[in-house]
Amino acid sequence: MLAPSKLSLIENHPLAPLTTLRVGGSARYFVTVTTKQEAVRAVELARQSGWRFYLLGNGSNLYFDDAGFDGLIIHNRIREGEKIDSDHPEIWSAGAGVSLPQLALRAGREGWGGLEFGVGIPGSVGGAIVMNAGASGSSISDCLLSIECYDQEGYKHLSREEIVFGYRSSPFQKGETIILSAKFLLKRDPEAKKIQQASMDYRRSTQPYGLPSAGCIFRNPQSNGSAQSAGALIDLAGLKEMTCEGAQISSLHANFMINTGQATSKGVSQLIARVRKTILEMHGIELTPEMIYVPPDGGRQ
């Protein structure tokens, strides 16, 4: 029997449909949260029950094991707090479950710049902050003003200056803090909508849109302050269309993996390992995965 709770818990909930790669088994327990209070209650329920828990956003940069997740998946759909400050229209607030592309598109339509890169990143605001997601030389940390979050010490408000971000990394990747909402500092830019459209057109012509994919497989390797293209390295190695148990390196962009229909978590992991081994042998460069693998005993407790 499940512990008493006002939360609508579901047992044995499929996870693959909730990820953009469409890979993974089922969660032992699953709950969708739409408010900050529900998110906190879900975390506390997991801790009191001795369950491992994992906060899931749009599932755009991860894959679950085929054996599923032996704990509680908290599906973040927090939208409360989405607003523009009437006294300071350059400050935009959004719940952690808000779609980043939708937020970016709205900002662009209203002539606000800073989030243009986000139109092609199919993640949530919270997930994007956790990964410090970005594109075209920009990252979400560039326009982040502050966040509201929750950890074992309780509710917190952190300014951008209090958070140490790195390239596609943040302290929140440890999973000890859940992001509830965020504020962004945007700037007036009448060209924002045009920049967004150009970004979308470019992505659609160079990336496998419309196919199950988790986005970039690897971070671009950094050396002496400059980045190399992971996709170019993989392409030079002749690894496009390499396939393992339904997981395949895209023929359109070598740093993207697609699910050809029946991909398994084992196949995804093996394909990542093969690519890393080949690039290390050919170029002497160790690629760091950007995709996150969530094992059955992953998450936090």
Residues with active-site annotation: 168, 216, 290
Between CA 62 and CA 72, with CA 68 as vertex, the angle to 5 degrees is 85
CB 146 within 8 A of CB 160: yes
CB 209 within 8 A of CB 235: no
Separation CA 108–CA 101 (nearest Å)? 10
Separation CA 74–CA 82 (nearest Å)? 20
Side chain identity at 246, as an amino acid letter?
A: G
Cβ partners under 8 Å of residue 60, min gap 6: 19, 20, 121, 122, 123, 127, 214, 215
Question: What are 103's two structure tokens?
Answer: 């937020």
Give the other-Cβ count within 10 Å of 69's Cβ: 27
Separation CA 37–CA 164 (nearest Å)? 26
Separation CA 266–CA 24 (nearest Å)? 10
Question: What are 28's two structure tokens?
Answer: 């032992």
